[in-house]
Amino acid sequence: MGLFDFLKKGLQKTKETFFGRVVKLLKGKKLDDETREELEELLIQADVGVETTEYILERLEEKDGDALESLKEIILEILNFDTKLNVPPEPPFVIMVVGVNGTGKTTSCGKLAKMFVDEGKSVVLAAADTFRAAAIEQLKIWGERVGATVISHSEGADPAAVAFDAVAHALARNKDVVIIDTAGRLHTKKNLMEELRKVHRVVKKKIPDAPHETLLVIDATTGQNGLVQAKIFKEAVNVTGIILTKLDGTAKGGITLAIARELGIPIKFIGVGEKAEDLRPFDPEAFVEVLISE
């Protein structure tokens, strides 16, 4: 089942109720006060945030024609990025995965590895979370599960050294992809953000263009703090895309809309479960449907 069908199936019920009501309210009409308030409520409750919600509503008021179609257009405009991965001409393709605690980094590393392995690529996973208890074991289980090599040091080791070894290993053995799992860290912790910059720098020593992708993992349940997270991680390690996880829950991940609009960071993947195959490339149209459903 494709992503779109997958999400649509999940949304069937809600579409018949609340979303259906909004569709009825907006379709073929311009925005009036009542619908404006209902839409505002919907967007705020999807964690889109006050500012971006206001932006969307103002844009909507400017537009003529079918309000529903206009709404979709506006949201798609915000999300209109090139989501292609920046794969280098020469392997290895190095991806670094970062984010605050517990968002789904390690799991997403496993899922990404699976995706590449399924494409016939050889994958190296770097266990650069040397802090969290059993983070290394967790990644090793993922490595076994999806058929990727795991490069690890012992707990408490220097994360940059692990990343360095993983890239060196991939270069020596002609591996296609390196995925670096990093420890969860709050963006407010200066020393931990510096540690992350060091990982970034050390990888560059081996391959100047690497990491080719630095993916920030954002949990779909995240509220307005997600915007600050994205801002500071972007400043520290030049985030190139977002993996939006846990969209299989009831949260909508609307904060990524604010992130896309204000910081220009595209969503590249979404996570829709805990299994290896539960990662999908981001589809903006399907996301719009998720966002404005209840």
Partner 1 sequence: MFENLQEKLSRVFKNLSGRGKITEKNVKDAIREVKLSLLEADVNYKVVKEFVDHVLQKALGEEVLRSLTPDQQFIKIVRDELVRIMGEKNEPLRLVHRPAPIMMVGLQGSGKTTTCAKLAKLLKKEGRNPLLVAADLYRPAAVDQLVKLGNQIGVNVVHDYNKTPVEIVKEAVDVAESTGKDILIVDTAGRLHIDEEMMKELEEIKKILNPDEILLVVDAMMGQDAVNTAKVFDERLDLTGFVVTKMDGDARGGVILSIKYVTGKPVKFIGTSEKIDGLEPFHPDRIANRILGMGDVLSLIEKV
106 is a site residue for ligand GTP (CB under 6 A): yes
Beta carbons of 134 and 145 less than 8 angstroms apart:
no
CA distance 288 to 294: 12
Judged by beta carbon distances under 5 to 8 A according to partner kind, the member of partner 1, ligand GTP, Mg ion, none in contact with residue 226 is partner 1
223 is a site residue for partner 1 (CB under 8 A): yes
Ligand-binding site membership of 10 (annotated) = no
Residue with tokens 């589809």: 283
106 is a site residue for Mg ion (CB under 5 A): yes
Residue 60 Cα to chain centre, angstroms: 27
| Residues comprising the chain, all counted | 294
Beta carbons of 277 and 114 less than 8 angstroms apart:
yes
Ligand-binding site membership of 102 (annotated) = yes
CA atoms within 13 A on the CB side of 145: 18
Judged by beta carbon distances under 5 to 8 A according to partner kind, the member of ligand GTP, Mg ion, partner 1, none in contact with residue 212 is none
Going by C-alpha positions, the residue among 101, 104, 152, 102 that lies closest to residue 125 is 152
CA distance 272 to 280: 8
214 is a site residue for ligand GTP (CB under 6 A): no
* Range in contact with partner 1 (rule: CB under 8 A) among 16-24, 73-81, 130-138, 193-201: 130-138
175 is a site residue for Mg ion (CB under 5 A): no
Among 23, 76, 87, 186, interactor with ligand GTP by CB under 6 A? 186
Q: Known binding site for GTP: residues?
A: 99-106, 181-185, 245-248
Q: Using CB under 6 A as the criterion, which residues of the chain lie in contact with ligand GTP when the complex forms? A: 99, 101-107, 129, 132, 135, 183-184, 186, 217, 245-246, 248, 271-274, 278
